[in-house]
Amino acid sequence: MKKIAALLSVFVLCLAMLSGCVTIETGSQTGGNAGSEVKEEPAYLFLDETLGVESYAIGFRIGDDELAETVSGALKALVLDGTYAKIGASYPDIEEYLCLTADGIDADSLPEKGSGDPDYTFKHGFDLDYPPYSYLQDDGSVGGLDVELCQAVCDYLGWGYEAVPFNWDAKDMELNAGSCDCIWSGFTKEGREDDYTWGITYSNNTQGILVAADSGIKTLEDLSGKVVGVQTATSAYDMLQDARADLAGTFADLKVYETYTIAYNDLKAGAIDAIAIDMTAGTFLISNDQK
Amino acid sequence: MTFQTMLASMSAGMLRSLAIFFLTLIFSLPLGMAVMYLRRSKYKVISGITKIYIAIMRGTPLMLQLLMWYFGPFYLFRWSIRGYRFPAIIIGFSMNYAAYFAEIYRSGYEAIPVGQFEAAEVLGYSRSQTFFKIILPQLVKTILPSITNEIITLVKDTSLAFTLAYNEMFSIAKQIASSQTSFVPFIIAGVFYFVMNYVVAFVMERAEKALAYY
């Protein structure tokens, strides 16, 4: 009898271990029929209605006006010489949101190429988990639109470049302690206008709602009584807490995640109905999943 | 946001942290005993498999284990995991802590001189009587300080539940700190953990004293 009991509990432990061995794939759930030649409808899509628009800019320490001006000026110069558009073109998912154009830029007021102090190293602070603005690329190196733009700015001015990936929760402490010189990582300006010295706004973004295509959710009203996921400390989260709190009030529940990756897995598993996310990050999640 | 508002929204999270804490203890303390029993089994297969279990539970990050307990049923069996979030967290924490507790129990068990077992046998105690009347009281005495250590770690580990979008206290602190550009929520969180652990240490010290009967 004891033997049987022992064997039984070992069996349970085995099961427990086995289920522990599952690998979580962000990989394709649709991958099962990926080989099929017919192009299928996308499994996940954005609602036509959006939550609102925001602008991405470079945040500097309060009082660092000169630095903010130099970096913004260099970025404008990169717009004029075409580098900005070239870097943008390598991120097709977000290219349309880049908002700087040559119109209205006064070439004479910009810093000269190579005019920076060659001994100065510009420390670029960013979240390493915010694709496609700043993230670990397929080859394991640090990359993303913001990283490439910042490197181009440093090259233009003749500065050294130093990547400072930090924990997003500690961004203000990192900046104020001087371990980085700017926050440049898909950083939303709205709602933080007075907290930083702001550099140039180089990209726009739209906050939207991502749902499964077959969920039957078509409008924001359909979200009433549904479970919606959002990443903590993002503009989508702030919007649902503040400007669109009325909408969030109709949800059955608002689940706050540490990262959108987990939220996306939950959406795929059917544990939540929708994700509030900005268009660029959402588009990146979907297209990366279908690779 | 005033200090009171911060405290109010964080105290809801504190209750959720405490829920994980107590439920994990309730399940993992007895489960650890069972794992210890299997680990000491004289059948090589059983003790071997239990060893592997302990190695996996102790050798991989708890955060990863939580992800697997939660998403495992979906990716393995395509089961619906709606509403499974909180159970998955409790299972993940309990299974993990049971492995640690099992090894602590074992250290206490093996510290008991073999003469105790022999004496019990001579006096005609059955195996279960020996365990509950002779061995367990001595075992508990020996292992209490190590258990206190582990429980204190558990208090701080509750913050890992945020991996599965469970809004415990520390995640709320992070949210408030971000939206208010303020350090105060982190200080409140620190005070909470400290007070909580102080209570744990106090209670355990009392327990140790109560058991110091020889």
Q: How many folded domains does chain B comprise?
A: 1
Q: What is the pLDDT of residues A183-215, one digit of tens each?
A: 999 898 988 889 999 999 999 889 999 999 999
Is A23 inside a domain boundary?
Answer: no
Contact B67 A269 (CB under 8 A): no
- Residues A98-119 have pLDDT tens digits of 989 888 788 888 898 888 899 9
Token look-up 């200090």 returns B3
**Would A13 be classed as within a structural domain?**
no
Last residue within a domain, chosen from A205, A221, A242: A205
Range of the domain at B24: 3-211
Domain assignment of residue A123, yes or no: yes
Q: Number of structural domains, chain A?
A: 2
Shared domain for A283 and A213, answered yes or no, is yes
A277 in a structural domain: yes
**Residues A179 and A210 reside in one and the same domain:** no
Confidence of residue A35 (pLDDT cuts 50, 70, 90): very low
10 Å CB burial of residue B188 (0-12, 13-18, 19+) is buried
Do A64 and A177 fall within a single domain?
yes
Contact by Cβ (8 Å): A199, A58: yes
pTM for the whole structure: 0.74
B107 touches chain A (CB under 8 A): no
- Distance separating alpha carbons of residues A265 and A280, to the nearest angstrom: 18
Q: How confident is the model at residue A24 (pLDDT cuts 50, 70, 90)?
A: very low
Q: Is residue A232 part of a domain?
A: yes
Whether residues A190 and A84 share a domain: the answer is yes
Residue-range definition of the domain harbouring residue A80: 54-205
Q: What CATH number corresponds to the domain at position A193?
A: 3.40.190
* DSSP one-letter string for B114-175: HHHHHHHHHTT--HHHIIIIIIHHHHHHHHHHHHHHHHHHHHHHGGGGGGGT---HHHHHHH
Query: Is A187 in the same domain as A109?
Result: yes
Alpha helix ranges (H) inside chain A: 2-20, 65-80, 83-89, 145-157, 171-177, 235-241, 245-248, 260-269, 279-289
pLDDT tens digit sequence for B91-109: 999 999 999 999 999 999 9
Q: Is B78 on the interface with A (CB under 8 A)?
A: no
The pLDDT of residue A33 is: 41
Residues of A in contact with B60 (CB under 8 A): 20
Q: What is the pLDDT of residues A248-276, one digit of tens each?
A: 999 999 999 988 989 999 999 999 999 99
pLDDT for A8 equals 64
A269/B81 CB distance under 8 A? yes
Choosing from A205, A239, A265, the residue where a domain stops is: A205
- Cβ neighbors of B87 (< 8 A, separation 6 or more) are none
Burial of A233 (0-12, 13-18, 19+ CB in 10 A): buried
Indicate whether A190 and A62 sit together in one domain. yes
| Å between B115 CA and nearest CA of chain A | 25
- Asked if A71 and A154 count as a contact pair (C-beta separation under 8 A), the reply is no
Whether chain B has a CB inside 8 Å of the CB on A271: the answer is yes
A57's enclosing H/E stretch is strand A52-60
Residue A226 covered by a domain: yes
Chain A residue whose CA is closest to B177: A169
How confident is the model at residue B35, as a pLDDT? Answer: 96
Residues A173 and A246 both lie in one domain: no
Residue at a domain's end among A145, A177, A205: A205
**For chain B, what percent of residues have pLDDT higher than 70?**
100
CATH label of the domain that carries residue A264: 3.40.190.10
Q: What is the DSSP letter of A273?
A: S
Mean pLDDT of all residues in B36-53: 95
| CATH number of residue B161's parent domain | 1.10.3720.10
Q: Are residues A214 and A95 in the same domain?
A: no
- Residue A146 forms part of a structural domain: yes
Q: Does A22 touch chain B (CB under 8 A)?
A: yes
Q: Are B112 and B140 in contact (CB under 8 A)?
A: no
- Per cent of chain A over pLDDT 90 is 45
Residue A195 touches chain B, beta carbons under 8 Å: yes
Whether A3 is covered by a domain: the verdict is no
Distance from CA of A249 to the nearest CA of B (A): 17
